[in-house]
A and B are shown apart, each in its own frame.
Chain A
């Protein structure tokens, strides 16, 4: 046995050596936390959706990630027309079918096409297996045109994951800030929002959503800067912080390290790594008969 593997194993103690049971109950009793990645894409590997998901899950296994939520398809168009949305979501649906109960999906919608987006929500969520909404950079999320989508998703108990960044170098025209997210969330207090990337510039992002209790901070997609998870827990509480990776564009490892390497209690880490997402997705999954 190589001595250096001990160091790796120590670092990965929370990540665990293998994925946990599907029930999740076992995870709470064991030292291995449930790890549920709420932000993943079918990228970084090649092939069909089925081929990609198999490769991506192999990587997830290596660092102990149990369940993964995928969104967007192959196209990565920033303002996709309705027919492209359907193709993108079909790719995620095909990936979900490979490992149901482990691979989850959020439906990709475009607020520039509200009616078509609601129909796509019904196809993929109301009548399909997806359990949440992904909004990216087609339109800034504080705009009122998002309201019908939010109301529709909330009736179905589906959380809304919104990309948020606050780039020093300047955002794209349709790119939302955490302050935009807070503005939308304040109009919809019954909805549950996930501020993806929590703005990238997380010291601003965390503060921007702090007063809006129905927004949780999601840690993916920026460098593994030390102190991020600690500030999020200090300002928001551990029950308002969730782990996400943004893999395959990002490394699972670098994003997991934001939590496993943080100066936080094990209880807080367990909440962030998986229990909070399980709580958020619990109502819609129960309605659909999906065990969480």
Chain B
């Protein structure tokens, strides 16, 4: 839309009020994060008294010291990195060739195979059969179960397939003339041309892995294997219960509130670091995935 026409006084007033409203909405999105960050740097006493509103009160890093001294914090952080990196690689290794095959016109039964993928997006057996299946496969309480069990989803396959389909066949002719096989054509022609789509899918996988909670909680018993989100949940609910543990923290320079806030800040940081990349690709990604069923 052309933005040059700002003729009337009414228009200028409208644009101003609109900007103020957007500003308010933006600040109200941002505020909880500011609040939590300030809380994490405040003293336990100030947090307990509810005096922290915008900036840290009695600034201290005691809560962080407490969090970083927890062995489980580091173990779960390491596990989350492991699940995120290996899980995303596993997803890409499976679905890049799969989506490529589904995009080829000469694939026999192509419509059937596409339906096999799409049907999983419409009908889901549900929590219990999935859980029992994981148990029957011996994938309870296993690193490998978490990595393989959530590697594929229909949306990502369709997103990649649509992108591959949009690449003109003329790009691969030179490679074909040189006698390249399908794997070489995919690797040398399609993958380099599909970097934005592959980046989008990778980021979806990374975010889903980093944030994954429910199934990790259900499938993993061994403390040594739990990811950050499960540790986070465990700590938050223990602290908020106001039981002995929570009470034991009150007298210190940190409190249940500041410790919770500090853990939250620590686990958001990696997402913030990759966020600029996420932003670059995901808008395109959503629109790509939605075009066709």
Do A and B truly interact? no
B: residues with CB less than 8 A from A are: none
